Amino acid sequence: MSGTSGEAGSQTAEVKAPAKVKPRRSATQAAVTWRRFRRNKSALIGLTIVSAFLLLGVFGPFFAAYPPRSTASLFLGQAHEPPSWAHPFGTEPTGVDVFSDSIWATRNDLYVGIVATLIATALGVAIGAVAGYARPSISTAVLGVIQVFFVIPVLLLILLFARLFLLEVVAGWGLTLIVLILGLFGWSGIAFVVRGEIFRVKELEFVQAEKALGASNFRILFRHIVPNILTPIIVLATLGVAGNIITEVVISFLGFGDPNTATWGLLIDDGFRYVNTYWWVSFFPGLMCVILVLGFNLLGDGLSDALNPRLRE
Amino acid sequence: MDTLLDIDQLRTYFFTEAGVVKAVDGVSLKVARGETHGLVGESGSGKSVTALSTLRIVPKPGKIVGGSIIFDGKDIIALKDKEIRSMRGKSIAIVFQDPMSSLNPLFTIENQICEIIRLHKGVSKAEARDSARHLLEMVGIPEAERRLKSYPHELSGGMKQRIAIARALSCEPQLLFADEPTTNLDVTIQAQVLDLMKSLKKELNMTLVMITHDMGIIAEMTERVTVLYAGQVYEACDTLTLFAKPKHPYTEALLKAVPRLDRKKELTSVPGNIPNLIEPPPGCRFHPRCPYAVQVCREKVPVLEEAGPGHLVACHRWRELGLSGA
């Protein structure tokens, strides 16, 4: 009996099923990309590293034992101590807890890397788009501007600006100043690539079809062409974050950063003078920086492979 | 005759590094409201550029350098950019040759049709969606509701061309250019698409300009024909006359190149190639390939003459030659 009723039940289920079947949706670009990305081990490692650091940067400071640049340990007689349970990364001679400051620095460096890259990418796409799509006279002029920004030594400019403004004008806003400078001077690479890609895509027939149907140049450019060139932009932006973090470390290490804001570069600089005796002060922040930059590079390479339509498995 | 499109002495040149390519060099053409007009000629004869000029979307380095285009009483060439843009897709539309690449691969069909409707009609999303579904049904796409959600790569070539037609028709244009709409489709689909265009034309009361090099399509679809060669009009008349009594040697050569079931003779092609449009041959541009060419053809440019009622021909010898039709 039970067998029969079970069969009847499954039959009704089978009859009903087709009515409920949703229209089949084919794999979206995102799903295809994720499938290829998943198979790439180094890409997954990169993604894991970047995610871990993002979590650390967002939530870590809530668990940090000391506020940033705190010299509290000095008064507990715990300055220049090697790594221990109380101070996993040791302390500086000034009493700064390297572990807590490294966590604060993670947040600060991610902020610099990501926001500066967002600014640079937005500028690079907009300027590259004009250079790739405007009429020849404008296009050539914009290309000239891109080339100028491409050859100016950004690091020197940053050091100059930092020296000019950091201490007097924008005290307390040092990181934001660095973000702005990195963003405003670091877009030329993306602009070059965007310009080239637009040259390729604007000759495709659907662009002319859009024009023939009455779409404006602005709509064609930003709604139809730019979405078609997102792949290199995403990859370049991912790699750009790593580059911007390194630049921030260099700035702070050279002593041009904000001495009151915890960043990895500042910690490395702190420890650099007595690296023979108190090696941990420079070592741990440096290690974190290397791992995160490696993570972004692996992620960028992985994305570039996964998003590349010419690499078929 | 109620003329919808009146092109007069249109000249569209391409300023390339190798020199000035005179792709359209003095084309005149009248299209009556409601008729199906054929534009025929070999590749590079200026058919497509004539259509693109009418929409003012000639790709760089091309430029309209002379002549006039009057559409529905409006001087197209004198219009402001904004005015012509609002006419594209709304009053004049075009279906391109390659359906594979005339849709943006990133967006769904719904997205791409609704965009055009909302752009020109300013209706709500839901209304645009309703008309999009209606359009897909009209161009004979089954399961329209589901297809709206598809991406271009999920559709066959024939379906994509139907979508491209639906997009072109979405704002019920008065004039539709079909630029070799079936060249990239296989033969059975070609027939379907041609039938579709025929019935849609009747349904929507449009004027249709078929651009093709296929004399079969001309015979099947059109009422009047303009024969272009090397950027100039060489013959223009109604379709029946063109096939029965062509007056220009080039038309005759084109007709001879059409395969026919009832003729056992060898199929001939037009000898030679279309001339270099940077330095076209002097005199009649067809003379190097023309079997009837004489001295005057090499020296004097022929002008369009009336060879009969509504029959124009540009040939020095049309009176003396007895050409055979199909």
| Same domain for B278 and B179 | no
Each residue of B72-86: pLDDT tens digit? Answer: 988 999 999 899 998
8 Å CB contact of B88 and A214:
yes
In this structure, is residue B323 part of a structural domain?
Answer: no
Is A205 part of the contact surface with chain B (CB cutoff 8 Å)?
A: yes
* Smallest CA–CA distance from B82 into chain A, residue: A216
Nearest CA in chain B to A215: B85
Contact check, Cβ <8 Å, A212/B116: no
How confident is residue A13, by pLDDT bands cut at 50, 70 and 90?
Answer: very low
Average pLDDT, rounded, for chain B:
88
Co-location of B119 and B237 in the same domain: no
pLDDT-derived band at A106, boundaries 50, 70, 90: very high
Tell which of B228, B258, B292 closes a domain: B228
Q: Which of A23, A211, A213 sits opposite B167 (nearest CB)?
A: A213
Domain hosting B250: range is: 230-313
Q: Residue B56: is its pLDDT beyond 60?
A: yes
* Nearest chain B residue (CA) to A23: B146
Q: Band of the pLDDT at B69, cuts 50, 70, 90? A: very high
DSSP 8-state symbol, B288: G
Taking only the tens place, the pLDDT of each residue in A17-54 is 444 445 555 566 778 788 888 888 899 999 999 999 99
Whether residue A21 lies within 8 A of chain B, CB to CB, comes out as: no
Residues 30-49 of A with CB under 8 A from B: none
Selecting from B86, B96, B150 the residue whose C-beta is nearest the C-beta of A214 gives B86
**CB spacing of B89 vs A212 below 8 angstroms:** yes
Q: Do residue B88 and residue A208 have CB atoms under 8 angstroms apart?
A: no
**pLDDT of A8 above 60:** no
d(CA A73, CA A81): 10
pLDDT at position A11 is 43
Which candidate from B86, B93, B101 shows the least CB-CB separation from A205?
B101
- By Cβ distance, the residue of A205, A212, A228 closest to B98 is A205
Spatial distance between the Cα atoms of A272 and A270, rounded to a whole number of angstroms: 6
Please check whether residue B322 lies inside any domain of the structure: no
Is A1 at the interface with chain B, CB within 8 A? no
- Contact list in B for residue A216 (CB cut-off 8 A) is 85
Q: What mean pLDDT comes out for the span B232-261?
A: 88
Cβ of B59 within 8 Å of Cβ of A208? The answer is yes
Q: How many domains does chain B contain in total?
A: 2
Interchain CB distance below 8 Å, B96 and A210? no
Nearest Cα of chain B lies from the Cα of A227 at a distance, in angstroms, of: 8
Q: Please, which pLDDT band fits residue B261 given cuts at 50, 70 and 90?
A: confident
Cα B324 from Cα B256, distance rounded (Å): 9
B119 vs A26, A212, A215: nearest CB:
A215
Q: Which of A23, A204, A214 lies at the smallest CB-CB distance from B149? A: A23
**pLDDT for position A32:** 78
**Are B245 and B221 members of one domain?**
no
Mean pLDDT of A248-271: 86
Q: Quick check: bond before A153 cis, omega within 30?
A: no
DSSP symbols for chain A: -HHHHHHHHHHHHHHHHHHHPPPP-PPPHHHHHHHHHHT-HHHHHHHHHHHHHHHHHHHHHHH-SS-TT--HHHHTT-TTPPS-SSSTT-B-TT--BHHHHHHHHHHHHHHHHHHHHHHHHHHHHHHHHHHHHS-HHHHHHHHHHHHHHHHS-HHHHHHHHHHHHTTTTSTT-HHHHHHHHHHHHS-HHHHHHHHHHHHHHTTSHHHHHHHHTT--HHHIIIIIIGGGGHHHHHHHHHHHHHHHHHHHHHHHHTT-S-TTS--HHHHHHHHHTTTTT-THHHHHHHHHHHHHHHHHHHHHHHHHHHH-TT---
- Is the minimum CB–CB distance between A291 and chain B shorter than 8 Å? no
Last residue of a domain, one of B228, B243, B262: B228
Cα separation, A273 vs A93, in Å, equals 11
Instruction: Inform me whether the C-beta atom of residue A26 falls under 8 Å from chain B C-beta atoms.
Output: yes
Question: Greater confidence, A292 or B183?
Answer: A292
Pair B184, B104 in one domain:
yes
pLDDT at A22: 52
User: A–B: how many Cβ contacts below 8 A?
Assistant: 64
Query: Tell me, what DSSP letter sits at residue B277?
Result: S
Q: Is A215 touching B (CB cutoff 8 A)?
A: yes
Is the pLDDT assigned to residue B276 strictly greater than 90?
no
Domain end marker among B198, B228, B258: B228
- Return the higher-pLDDT residue of B227 and A89: B227
Check CB contact under 8 Å for B116 and A213: yes
> Which pLDDT band holds residue A309 (cuts at 50, 70, 90)?
low
- Is residue A311 predicted with pLDDT exceeding 70? no
Q: Is the Cβ–Cβ distance between A229 and A201 less than 8 Å?
A: yes
Q: B172 contacts in A (CB within 8 Å)?
A: none
Does B106 share its domain with B121? yes
Q: What percent of chain A has pLDDT over 90?
A: 29
pLDDT tens digits for B98-122?
877 888 888 889 989 998 899 888 8
Residue A7 in this model has a pLDDT that exceeds 60: no
Q: What is the pLDDT of residue B264?
A: 67
Q: Mean pLDDT, to the nearest integer, of A173-199?
A: 89
Minimal Cα–Cα distance from B161 to chain A, Å?
Answer: 12
Q: Of B88, B105, B119, which is closest to A212 when you measure between CB atoms? A: B88
pLDDT above 90: percentage of residues in chain B: 30
Per residue in B303-313, pLDDT (tens digit) is 888 888 889 99
- Inter-chain contact B85–A212, Cβ cutoff 8 Å? no
Per the CB < 8 Å rule, is B154 touching A26?
A: yes
Of B96, B105, B120, the CB nearest to A214: B120
Is residue B207 domain-shared with residue B72, that is, in the same domain? yes
If one compares A233 and B265, the residue with the highest pLDDT of the two is A233
Residue B214 binned pLDDT confidence (cut-offs 50, 70, 90): confident
How far apart are alpha carbons A13 and A21 in whole angstroms? 12
- Which chain A residue's Cα is nearest to B148? A23
B99 and B245 share one domain: no
- Are A205 and B96 an interchain contact pair (Cβ–Cβ within 8 Å)? yes
The CATH code of the domain that includes B66 is 3.40.50.300
Question: Is residue B325 included in any domain, yes or no?
Answer: no
Domain A51-78+97-307, what fold? Answer: MetI-like fold (1.10.3720)
Same domain, B221 and B256: no
Tokens 């940033």 identify what position?
A68
Task: Please tell me whether residues B208 and B289 are part of one structural domain.
Answer: no
CB contact under 8 A, A213 and B96: no
Q: Are residues B181 and B283 in the same domain?
A: no
Average pLDDT of A163-175? Answer: 69
- On the question of pLDDT at A172 being above 80, the answer is no
A120-166 pLDDT tens trace = 999 999 999 999 998 888 999 999 999 998 888 878 888 888 777 76
Residues B119 and B206 in one domain: yes
Q: Is the pLDDT of residue A215 over 60?
A: yes
CB pair distance less than 8 Å for A209 and B167 = yes
